[in-house]
Amino acid sequence: MARNGVNAIDGPSSLNLPPYDTWATKAPLDSAGAALRIARRVAEHTGRHVGVAIIDANDMAAEVLAATDGVSVTDVLAVVADNPLGQSDEQTPFGLVRRVAPAAVPVLAGAVR
How many domains in the chain? 1
Does any domain span residue 98? no
Does any domain span residue 12? no
pLDDT value of position 66 = 95
The structure's pTM equals 0.74
Does any domain span residue 100? no
Q: Which domain holds residue 76?
A: 29-85
Does any domain span residue 43? yes
> Is a pLDDT exceeding 90 seen at residue 65?
yes
pLDDT, tens digit, for every residue of 47-56?
Answer: 999 999 999 8
> Is a pLDDT exceeding 60 seen at residue 1?
no
Does any domain span residue 21? no
Give the separation between CA 1 and CA 97, rounded to whole angstroms.
Answer: 35
Are 91 and 16 contacting, i.e. CB atoms less than 8 angstroms apart? yes
**Which of the four pLDDT bands, split at 50, 70 and 90, describes residue 18?**
confident
Report the mean per-residue pLDDT for the chain: 82
Does any domain span residue 104? no
